[in-house]
Amino acid sequence: MDDLTYFYTAIGYALLIPGAIMCLLPIRNHLRIPLKKLCLLLFPTLILYSIMMPLIEKQFSIGNQTLFSLTIFLCFPVYCMAVDLKKIKLFYLFLSNVALLSFAGLAFYMVDAYIVNNGIISPIYDTAVVSQWCATLLLLCFVFLPFFNRKLTWTLEHFHSTPVWNMVWTVPALITFCNFAMIPVDYKNATVGRIFSLYILIDTTLLLLFLLFQQMFYLIAKTLIEKSEHETKTQLLQIQANQYQNLLRYVNETSKLRHDFRHTAHTLSSLAQENDTEKILCYLKEYSQELDSYRPRLFCRHTAANAILSYYASIAESSHIQMNWRIDLPAKLSVSDVDLCTILGNLLENAIDGCIDVPLAQRFINLSADLTENKELYIICVNSSGGNLKKSGAKYLSTKKGGTGIGLLSISVTAEKYAGVTRFYHSDREFNSEVMLNLSDNPCH
């Protein structure tokens, strides 16, 4: 291996560098180590890898295609360790980038076959390697950065349907396989008649179909999420409408009570003149109970939160669940009403479900919500539990028949939007939920 061959072989292996960039950009917010620190560690390692691999290739007489393919798939476990994201999502992103770069890899073989079969004298540089690098940079700059990066980032962060993720990875895998299968075994057959033109046509069609699939997947994911958010907003509006009707009922009933108060005053005056203290106390007790029955619930000044809390409080009361709630939320918060009510609603729904299997005397839900001076919102919920909890690894599963078990996942995903954290754990008789949202960087809604 002369110096020039060694140099271009090393340049070929260095194609892992743009591949690493494409794998890191969409998940940069989920790295387990800081991006700068990772780059300082990763890219010098890839450069050293590019320098060493031609020597290993020569020493053991192994083809670069075999070594390069083996290296790519050995990178995936390391990728999973560096990123805090579901492995199936990382697998899809990884395969999508491999599929995209496989088009540039096929360009190398087609250009090389064209040069060899037409007897073109190669200039001082390796035309096939340069073509592959040009194709890679074109895909990076004009396909990945303006198209893949933004949409893949959004899909990875917002779409969480595991059954769908378990299926969609097959598309980039199939594209990669097709490009690999199209590598000409014998260069002599690659440019016979119209075969070379057909190669270009088929590969261009595959690229367009792959891009179309990525666009469709993004649009479908976005539509499903928007539908879910719309349903949540509709439910919230319905709850707020019910709360508004309760307030109207309170206004009407208290107006009637105020109108009838003079009769109450006359009655009390007559009883006082008769010195019938026992009847006065009994009458006042009944009147107080009547007032309490019309009193609206006011847990906090935040309208949407108060509506969702009132809704679940009525369900808890009908289920004979003791409530100890301390909610200290201002009228305005830098978190959307939908997100806040999603968290509170899922917490209380899970808490009420957890209390159902507990004897009446032992049912309770303790709930607190506070906003600190540092704009950190803490929500803590502790409820009684029958202990019949299901887990898969570190995740809790639904105990409902046919339940999806996405309530706690929805809370965690919503918390991540606000750079927050969640913690769920249980004991024999209690289930604990802890949620923290960082609202310091979010403008007020």
Residues 328, 442 within the same domain: yes
| pTM for this prediction | 0.68
Task: Please report whether residue 271 resides in a domain.
Answer: no
Task: Please report whether residue 113 resides in a domain.
Answer: yes
- HEC string of 217-280 equals HHHHHHHHHHHHHHHHHHHHHHHHHHHHHHHHHHHHHHHHHHHHHHHHHHHHHHHHHCCCHHHH
Of 203, 232, 261, which closes a domain? 232
Residues 307, 224 within the same domain: no
Residues 82, 156 within the same domain: yes
Task: Please report whether residue 57 resides in a domain.
Answer: yes
Residue 51 CB neighbours (<10 A): 13
What CA–CA distance (Å, rounded) separates 82 from 97? 17
Residues 333, 220 within the same domain: no
What CA–CA distance (Å, rounded) separates 203 from 41? 35
- Tokens for 190? 């690659």
Task: Please report whether residue 256 resides in a domain.
Answer: no
Residues 43, 175 within the same domain: yes
User: Cα–Cα distances in Å, from 283 out to 94, 137, 259?
Assistant: 75, 86, 18
How many domains is the chain built from? Answer: 2
What CA–CA distance (Å, rounded) separates 383 from 349? 11
Residues 53, 179 within the same domain: yes
Of 182, 212, 232, which closes a domain? 232
How high is the mean pLDDT in each 10-residue block of the chain (445 residues)?
A: 79 91 91 89 92 83 72 88 90 95 92 84 76 93 90 88 90 94 85 85 94 95 86 70 59 56 63 70 68 64 85 89 93 87 89 90 94 92 82 60 61 85 88 91 55
Residues 350, 214 within the same domain: no
Task: Please report whether residue 291 resides in a domain.
Answer: no
Q: How far apart are the first and last CA of the chain?
A: 65
265 in Cβ contact with 257 (< 8 Å): no
Who's near 404: CB < 8 A, 6+ residues apart? 398
Task: Please report whether residue 414 resides in a domain.
Answer: yes
Task: Please report whether residue 425 resides in a domain.
Answer: yes
Q: Is 21 helix (H, G, I), strand (E, B) or coil?
A: helix
Q: Which residues of 284-307 are buried (b: 16+ CB within 10 A; e: fewer)?
A: eeeeeeeeeeeeeeebbebebbbb
Q: Which residues of 352-384 are buried (b: 16+ CB within 10 A; e: fewer)?
A: bbbbeebeeeebbbbbebebeeeebbebbbbbb
Task: Please report whether residue 282 resides in a domain.
Answer: no
HSE-up of 264 (CA within 13 Å, CB side)? 16
Residues 200, 303 within the same domain: no
Residues 318, 398 within the same domain: yes
What's the domain range around 185? Answer: 3-232
DSSP per-residue codes, 262-328: HHHHHHHHHHHHTT-HHHHHHHHHHHHHHHHHHPPP-S-S-HHHHHHHHHHHHHHHHTT-EEEEEEE
Of 198, 232, 266, which closes a domain? 232
CATH number of the CATH domain containing 375: 3.30.565.10
